[in-house]
Amino acid sequence: MKVKMGKRVVNLVVGTGFLRACAKNSEVIVLSILSLSGFVLGQLAHRFVEIHRIIYPLLKTPSFSLYCYFLPIIIFVAALDVDFYILKNVFWQVLLTGSVSFFLSLTIIGYVAMKFSKEIWDLQSCMLFSITLSIIDPLHSVNSLKTIGVSKMNSDIIRGESLIICAITSIVIELFRTKILHSFMFTEIYAFINLFLDVFGSITCGYVCARIIRFIFIDLFGNTLTNVILCFSMVYMTFYIAEVFGMSGIIALITVGLNLDSLSFKPRNELIITKFLIMFSSVYHQLIYTFFGIVIGCGQIKYFKIHSVVFILILFVSLNIVRLFTIVLVSPIFMHSSYEYNWRWGIVITWSGIKGVFNLLLAPEVYNLAETKIRSPHLCILCVQMISLLTMGINSYMMTQSARILGLCSISLPRQMAMRNAIQHIQEIIQNTITLFKTEKILTNVNWTLVEEKTRIEYIIPSDAVKFSHVSQSGEQESPTDEDLTEEARLHVAIIQMSSFEKQCNDGILSVSAARILIGATKSYCPIQGKFMSIYDVSNYVRSRSWLVKFKSILTYLEYHKEKPCFIASGNSKFLFTIYQIMFSEEFEYAEYIITLMYIYPMIVHLWPIARELNVSALLSINYYFMLLYVLQAALKIIILKRKYFQQCWNTLEFFIMVIGLVDVFCVYSVKLRPENILLIQVTVVIGYFRIIRFLPIIKVIIPVLINIVDVLIKKRLSLMYSITKGYVKSQEDTKLLIKQISSRESIYQKLYDILETNRRDAVKELGLIEHEGRDVVIALKSKHAIQTVIHKAQKNLTFLWSRGIIDNHEGIEMNKVLLTKIKALNNIPMAIPPPTPDKYLPNIIWLENKEILIEFFKERAKLAYFDYGDIICKEGEMPQGIYLIISGMAILHSSPPSFGIDNTLRPGRESKSMFTEFCTSGDIIGELNCLLKREIEYTAICETTLQACFISLEDLYEGFDVFWPSLEYKIWLKLALRTASQYFESSLVGEDLTFQKCVDHNHAYVETLSSYNEMVIDNATMKFVIIVYGSVIDMKTEEPYFAPSMIPKTCEQLQGTSDLSKLLIILAPEPANNINTNTTVTVLQKSTFKRETLILGPSLSAALLLGGPMLQTSRP
C-alpha cells in the first residue's frame, strides 16, 4: 500500500510539472486544475468501490498529521526570505497590523458566517471558521510583487504581518486543542503557562536551534549534500521538539528562519539549500490542494447549493473589506515611521490578504475542535479552498496592476541614470576587449563587424517601469535635482558596502559576527533619509562597552587583597607572633570559608517555619557558636592589624556582620526576659532574617573569577570592534573606487567622495584608539588575519594546480583537508598576545629586510622616544631630525596638499587649500621621505594618545647609507614608490604582486631616477607600467607634462626630467613579453585642476592595498 501511495505522489508531481510548463508557471491555474481533478476523483470514489479502496487510506489521515507533515517547510521557507533587520525596524508596527487584522477578521467574518450559515453552524464553529480565514499566506502574499521589482522593505512588511498572524492563530488553535484534551485541568493559570511557553519558550527554542544550524553550516569540512539534508532534518526536528515540550512549533520555526541569513551558509550553499526547500514547498502546495479537492469530492453534494456560491462571494468581499479597514487604521503609524510608505503602498497592501495552504490545513479543525459537530464539514473546506483560489488569482492580479498603475514598480530618474552609466561602462569594457583582441594574430580572420553587432548591449527599460520626470513649460524634461541624485547614490553606497562586508566575510578577512553586525547596522540606518552610516553609528548600534569597564573597576575595587604586614615584636611577642602566623596562613583563610558554608543548613532551617519551631534551642546554640567564631576571627585580625583592619572593605563588612550578629543575640536574650513585648519580638524576627548577610564574604572568592570573565568579554568586544572598524574602512575604500559609476555628475561625485573620505578617516582614528587600548588583543587579531591570508593564498594556488591536472583529485582533497584543518585551528589562537619588546620592532621596518647585520647596526643607534597626549612630534616647515617607528599609540598628521617634489608654479591653476589628514598607529613610520631628501617636513604630527616610538636620527640613517651604499637608500625609495603606486593606482594594478620582497628578489619592479633634463626611453615591450611617484617629467614627443603621482600612458616613448629629482616606478612585463596584462587604467593628474581623471579600460574595479603604512592623502580626489 505504501509503495502504491508513493507511486501516486510521484505521478502527481510529474503531472504538476507538465501543468506548470503548459500554464507558464501560473500557480493559481495549476492549483485550480489540481483541486478540480481531486474533486472529480473524490466523486468517482464516492460512486465506485474500486476507486474508494484506493482513496480511503488518504481520508483516514488525521488533519493534525497533515499539519505536521507539510507546514514546517512552508513556514520556514517564508521566514527565511524575510530580512530580519528590516522587520526589526518596523516590528511593532507589523505586530500591531497583524493583531488588528486578526481581531477584525475574527469579529467581522465570524458575524458574516453566523448571519448566513446559522442554520448549519453554531457560534463556536463560526469563530473557528473566522480564525481559519484570518490567516494570510506568507508565501503567496508577496510572490506577485517580487516579479515586478517592488521595494524589499514593503514586501517584508506584508510577509512579516502574515507570519505574525500565523503565530497568533497557531497559539489560539493550540489553546482550543489543549482545552479539549485537558478540559479537566484547564484553568487560567494553565492557560497562562501555555501562552508563556508558546511565545517565550518557542522563541528561545528557535533561537537555540538557529545557533545549532549556524554552527553546522559554517563547519569547514561539511559538504553541500550533508548541509541540505541537515537543514531539512533540523526544520522538522525543531518543530517536533517544540511541540513535544508544549511550545509552538510554528513560532519556533519563524524564529529559526529570521535568525538565518546569507552569512549563516558557506558561499554558494545558500542558493542550493534555498532552491531545494522551495522545490519541496511547491510540491507540498500541490499535494495539499489535490488532497483537499479529493476530500471535498468525497462529501455529500446536497449541501453544495447556489447559497454556497453566494456565501463564498460574500466572504471574499468581506475579507477584502476587513483588509481595507486594517490598512486604514494602521496607515498613519506606518507613514510616521517609514518615509517609503504612502497611500499608494496602502492600496497595494490592501490587496495582499491572500489565503493559502495554512488556511486549508486548519479548515478541518473547524469540525474537530467544535463542541457541537457541524453537519457539513466538507462545505467549510470548500469555502476555504475556493476563497484561497479566488484571492490567489484576483488579489494577486490587483496587487500587480495597482503597483504598476501607481508607479510603485517604476524606476526613478536617478536610478535610470545609474543604470545607463553602468551599461555604458560595460559597453566600454566590451569595446576595449574587442580592440585588444584585434591585435591577436590567431584572431585576424574573425568577422569583427558581426562580433561588435552581437555584443552590443541595448538595455531598454520596460514602459511600465519608466518614471517620467516633471516637464517644464518649454517642453523639455527637467533633470533630477542634486538631492534626488544624492539620495539615490546613498542607497547605492549602502548596497556596495553590504556587498563589501559579505565579500570580506567570504574571503576570511572579516569574521561572521562582525560582518553580520555591519550589515545589520547598514540596513538599520538605510531607511533614514540622507543618512550616511559612520563608524560612530556602528558603535552606537553595537552599544558601548563602557558598562564592562565600569563593572571591572567595581570588581577590582572589591577584590580581596591579602597584604601581609611586617611583624613588629613587642612585650608578649611570642603570643602575638603565633596569632600573626595563624591569621596569615592559608588554613585560616580556608577556615573562614568553611565556617560560612557550614552555616547554610542552619540558615535553611531558620527560614523554614515548621523546622524552625521544632529546632528552636538547637538554632540558638548554633547561632551562639557561630557568633563566637565570628568574634574570635575579628579579634585576632584587630590584634594584629590594629587601625589597618578597617582599611580593607571586606574587614569592614565582616565587622558589620559581627555587630548585627551581636545585636541579634542581644534581642533573642531580651525576648527570653520579656516574652510579652510584641514590638521586641517583631524586631528580633526582622533582625533574624539579616543573618543571611553572613554569606556575603564568600563573594570575595568569586570576584577573581568574575574579573577573569569580564577581562575575556572586554577582549572579545575589543577584538570584535577592531574587526568591525577594519571591515568598515575596507568597505569605504571599495566604495570610493565605484562612486564614478554611481553618479556621473561632478557635484554628486565630489560630495560622495568627501563623505566617504571623512568616514574613512574617522574609522582609521577609531582603529588607532582601539589598538592603543588593547595592543595585545590587536596583535593577536592581526596575527590571526596574517595566517588566514597566507592559508587562503595557498588554497588558491592549490585550486589552480588542481584545475590544471597537476594534482589529482585524491591528493587535492587530502591537501585541502590539511589547509582546512589549519584554518580551523585558528580558533584556538589566544585572544591576546603580549606585544614584543621595543627592540623587536626593528625587523618590522620593511627595508631592513629582516637582515641581522642591518638590524644590529640600527639597534645600537636607535633610541626610545616617549610622547604624551597632544605632544607635537614634528612640525610642518621644520628640518627632519630622523625617522620615528611607532611602537604603541597613535598620531595624527595634518598637512597642506603634498607637493611630491614639484614647485607650485609648475602646477598652474592649483588652488586647493584643503587639508590632508592621516592617522599613524603601531608599525607606521614617520619622516622617511623628508630624511631621504633632507627637505622641510610637509606635515605636522600630533599625538592623539600617549605614544612610544623608536627614533633613528638623521645622522645615524645617513651613516647607514654610507655603510650599506647604495642598496639601503634605494630600498627605502622602492618602498615609498610601491606604497604610492598601490595607494593611487590600485584599480590599475589588480593582479600585480607588488610585494616589497618579491620586487627586491625577482626585480619585478624597480625605481629609476631622473634628474633635470635627463632622458629615459620607454620600452613598452618590457615595461608594463611606468608610474612617476616623485617629481615631474615631460613627453619628449608631445611635450605633455606629467606630475607625480601619475601613470605614463602607453603612447609615450621617451621622457625627460623637469624637476631636480624625479623618481619613476617601472613595473616589468612577465615573460614572454607579448603576454602583457591588457587590463589597464590610465590615471593622469591634470596640471590645471589637480583632479584625477580615470579612464577605466578593464573590468577590475577594486583591489586590496598592497602595502600598509601612513600616507598623506587628500580629502579631495
pLDDT value of residue 379 = 83
Helix axes 616-641, 649-673, angle to 10 degrees: 140
Residue type at position 994: L
Contact status, residue 761 vs residue 769, Cβ threshold 8 Å: no
pLDDT value of residue 73 = 93
Provide the residue count of the chain.
1117
* Rounded Cα gap, residues 260 and 209, in angstroms: 10
Q: Which helix (H) or strand (E) holds 225?
A: helix 224-244
pLDDT value of residue 982 = 82
* Rounded Cα gap, residues 286 and 524, in angstroms: 38
* Rounded Cα gap, residues 534 and 512, in angstroms: 20
Q: Which helix (H) or strand (E) holds 1085?
A: strand 1081-1085
> DSSP strand E in 852-944: where?
863-867, 872-874, 882-888, 891-895, 916-920, 925-926, 939-943
Three-state secondary-structure class, residue 230: helix
Give how far Cα 1008 sits from Cα of 841, 899, 1017, 1039, Å: 30, 19, 11, 20
Residues 609, 613, 619, 623: is their CA dihedral positive or negative? positive
State the DSSP code for 470.
P
Contact status, residue 198 vs residue 251, Cβ threshold 8 Å: yes
DSSP string, 53-105: HHHHHHHTS-HHHHHHHHHHHHHHHHHHTS-HHHHHHTHHHHHHHHHHHHHHH
Three-state secondary-structure class, residue 892: strand
Contact status, residue 920 vs residue 893, Cβ threshold 8 Å: yes
Cell 642598496 sits at which residue? 967
Closest CA to 68 of 211, 250, 228: 250
**All 3 cell numbers of residue 176?**
482550543
**All 3 cell numbers of residue 905?**
608654479
pLDDT value of residue 236 = 93
pLDDT value of residue 469 = 43
Contact status, residue 9 vs residue 287, Cβ threshold 8 Å: yes
Closest CA to 77 of 384, 359, 358, 290: 358
The CA-based dihedral angle spanning residues 1085, 1088, 1091, 1095, taken in that order and rounded to the nearest 10 degrees: -60
* Rounded Cα gap, residues 399 and 28, in angstroms: 15
pLDDT value of residue 164 = 92
For the chain, give percent helix, strand, coil, nearest 5: 65, 10, 25
10 Å Cβ neighbour count for 156?
Answer: 21
Give how far Cα 610 sits from Cα of 436, 605, 614, 705, 787, Å: 97, 9, 7, 38, 66
* Rounded Cα gap, residues 1035 and 1051, in angstroms: 10
Three-state secondary-structure class, residue 1011: strand
Cell 568616514 sits at which residue? 759
**All 3 cell numbers of residue 309?**
456560491
10 Å Cβ neighbour count for 610?
Answer: 8
State the DSSP code for 1068.
E
Three-state secondary-structure class, residue 511: coil
Can you say how many angstroms the Cα of residue 410 is from the centroid of all Cα atoms in its chain?
Answer: 30
Task: Please identify every stretch of the chain with a pLDDT value under 70, giving residue numbers as ranges.
Answer: 1-25, 118-120, 149, 179-188, 190, 220-222, 302-303, 338-340, 410-418, 439-444, 459-480, 543-546, 561-573, 744, 838-839, 903-915, 987, 990-991, 1071-1117
Give how far Cα 98 sits from Cα of 141, 192, 726, 797, Å: 14, 21, 40, 53
Three-state secondary-structure class, residue 912: coil
pLDDT value of residue 208 = 92
* Those residues with Cβ within 8 angstroms of residue 189's Cβ, 6 or more apart along the chain or in another chain: none
pLDDT value of residue 1085 = 32
Three-state secondary-structure class, residue 952: strand
- Any idea what the Cα angle at residue 767 is, between residues 763 and 770, rounded to 5°? 130
Contact status, residue 1087 vs residue 907, Cβ threshold 8 Å: yes
- Any idea what the Cα angle at residue 108 is, between residues 105 and 109, rounded to 5°? 70
Contact status, residue 86 vs residue 316, Cβ threshold 8 Å: no
What are the residue ranges of helices labelled H in 507-584? 512-525, 535-542, 546-558, 573-583
State the DSSP code for 201.
I
Question: What is the pairing mode between strands 891-895 and 916-920?
Answer: antiparallel
pLDDT value of residue 571 = 54
Closest CA to 103 of 131, 137, 132, 136: 131
Query: How many CA atoms lie less than 13 Å away from 1083 in the CB half-sphere?
Result: 25
* Rounded Cα gap, residues 840 and 995, in angstroms: 22
Closest CA to 956 of 888, 1043, 854, 1026: 854
User: Tell me: the pLDDT tens digits for 993-1041?
Assistant: 777 777 877 777 888 888 888 888 888 778 888 999 888 889 888 888 8
End-to-end distance of the chain based on CA atoms, in angstroms?
Answer: 75
Closest CA to 40 of 255, 293, 237: 293
Closest CA to 518 of 724, 331, 269: 724
β-pair partners for 864: 950
Helix axes 616-641, 600-607, angle to 10 degrees: 140
Helix axes 649-673, 678-689, angle to 10 degrees: 150
Can you say how many angstroms the Cα of residue 1059 is from the centroid of all Cα atoms in its chain?
Answer: 50
User: Tell me: the pLDDT tens digits for 122-180?
Assistant: 788 888 889 999 999 988 888 878 777 677 777 888 888 899 999 999 888 888 877 66
Burial class (CB in 10 A: 0-12, 13-18, 19+), 1020: middle
Three-state secondary-structure class, residue 409: coil
Can you say how many angstroms the Cα of residue 1071 is from the centroid of all Cα atoms in its chain?
Answer: 44
